Structure 1
Amino acid sequence: MKGSLIIVSFFVVGALCGFHHLIPYDFTQNDLSYYVLCGLMLCVGINIGNDPQTLKSFRSLNPRLVLLPIITILGTLAGCAVAGSLMSHRSLAECMAVGSGFGYYSLSSIFITEYKGPELGTIALLSNILREIIALLAAPFLVKYFGKLAPISVGGATTMDTTLPIITQYSGKEFVILSIFHGFIVDFSVPFLVTFFCSL
């Protein structure tokens, strides 16, 4: 829990620095976040490489776990369909488009803004950021009450990058490769599903 709070606090500090223009705008426009993410993935890779049991543990996992990304996608869309049916001011397709971001807020919000306007694009941005923050903060509770796969499913498209260290910490190193695979498949589905629901 402490690690999750530290990560979220860095996000809040970054947002405040950006809001108050404490960091030059040109500095944030370069590929700094990309290089930081690469460094993060390097550290995770080193951690996996130092533990030969990780790959052995992955081989012993149930082959049905490769269906986890599909279950995550279907479960999210089902939840969005229920939420959409309860909202009178938003169409079902709009709710499905927002949910189809699966935590990939940068890409999905751009697509939705382009197709549906800035208001729904902002809703998509906030909704998908919230999904990532919930995955970061609630990981220990999700593992405790719903099992080790729960943080992976909640993390959506973020499980191969930003939420991977938290998943590794609470679900275990044996789920790292599954988490990366899950994130890749869900991530890949985002542009197709978002544009599909926006076009309805």
Structure 2
Amino acid sequence: MQSFWLIFQLLICLALGFVLAKRLPSWLEHLAFKTLPYFTYILLIAIAIEFTQTLHTIAQPWQILNYAAVLALLTSIGAFLCCYVLFKLLGYQPSHGKVSINLVSKSLINISYAFIALAFGYVLSESVTSMGYTLQITTWNLLLVFMFLIGLDLAYSPLDRSWLNWKILLVPLGCIVGSLLGAFVSATLIQDISLKDLIMLSQGYGFYSMTGIVVTELKNAHLGSIALMNDLFREILAIVLMYMIGWRYPRSAISSAGATAMDVTLPMVKQACGNDFIPHAMVSGFILSVLAPVVVSILAAI
């Protein structure tokens, strides 16, 4: 129930932003639109701080990080490729006919900004800890603010029948199937975790604020830590894929982003893929955000 309450909060903030758009004072809307492009980096700094603090509380952190990195890489690639194949079978072509050196360069610069934000959060957390203090940052509250800003932005975005296009459902389907395939492949590399648990971990779809809690409660802290790190890594990989090739393969990049496509990585979708693919991100992210707590809970309980 806690997971559904979290999703409900996200949707309420999104709806509030959408409804209040064009009703707020113009100066406030202007400030919101000025803030939105930079809010991603604030989120990344906060995520890095939480990530750093988590590392200090778990046993065998490097083994956990290794398992999480392998699983995150394989599930992210699996989601990307599976979605690509699905749309390729339907005759969809890449969004651009040729590689743009300018866009690639811009993507690399944007990635560097993201990693600078992560590095800054890590250094900040370690510095404060070394002085005997602890930073108390709740990324969830930042996400709620971000969803409100996205709601404002969507109110000014052109909405059409693409929101109801059944083909959009292939984006989350690609993520689900690709994540499963990634779990099967990872089973050949990770011997200490059962296939059932790897499948469970793969179905978090980047919803790290939920999976770590659910898996820890229903399984154990070791798997819960892997779940948290796995989904954090999936989020980082989603950022990399979005900036690197999201402009050319937007649907596949959104699929690899999993549940984060409707919140944390949504500004990357807007920036790298364009407003035309915001419906794909919102629909896919919503479906996966609803499925993740249900599927993970069931797989953890059996």
TM-score, normalization by structure 1: 0.82
**What is the total number of aligned residue pairs between the two structures?**
193
What is the RMSD of the two structures over their aligned residues, measured on CA atoms? 2.5
SS at match of 1:28: coil
Which residue does the alignment assign to 2:137?
A: 28
- TM-aligned CA deviation for residue 188 of structure 1: 0.8
CA contact (8 A) 2:266 2:281 kept: yes
2:150 corresponds to 1:44:
yes
1:10 to 90, 93, 117: 117
1:104 maps to 207
Partner amino acid for 2:147?
M
Amino acid at match of 1:58: S
Q: What stretches of structure 2 of length at least 5 have no aligned partner?
A: 1-106
Partner of 1:196: 298
Residue segments in structure 1 that go unaligned for 5+ positions in a row = none
How much does 1:115 deviate?
2.5
User: Which one scores higher on RCO, CA 8 angstroms, separation ≥ 6?
Assistant: 2
- Contact in 2 for aligned 1:5/1:137 (Cα 8 Å): no
Matches within 5 A, 1:45-124: 45-51=151-157, 54-56=158-160, 58=162, 62-124=165-227
- Structure 2 CA distance, aligned partners of 1:123 and 1:171? 30
Give the Å deviation of 1:166: 0.4
- For residues 3-43 of structure 1, give each alpha carbon's deviation from its aligned partner in whole angstroms, at most 9, with x where no partner exists: 343234323322333344369647425xxx34432333343
Q: Which has more radius of gyration?
A: 2
Describe the SS at the equivalent of 2:178. Answer: helix
TM-score by length of 2: 0.57
Q: Supply the distance in 2 between the matched residues of 1:199 and 1:84 (Cα, whole angstroms).
A: 20
**1:89-129 Cα distance to aligned partner (Å, 9 max, x none):** 21001101111111011210111122322222111111111
Change (3 A) 1:49 1:72: same
Equivalent pair of 1:132/1:163 in contact (CA under 8 Å): yes
In the superposition, relative to structure 1, how do residues 87 and 128 fare at CA in structure 2: closer, same or farther (>3 Å)?
same
Identity %, equivalent residues: 27
Q: Distance in 1 between matches of 2:183 and 2:240?
A: 22
- Report the CA distance shift for 1:83/1:26 in structure 2 as closer, same or farther (over 3 A): closer
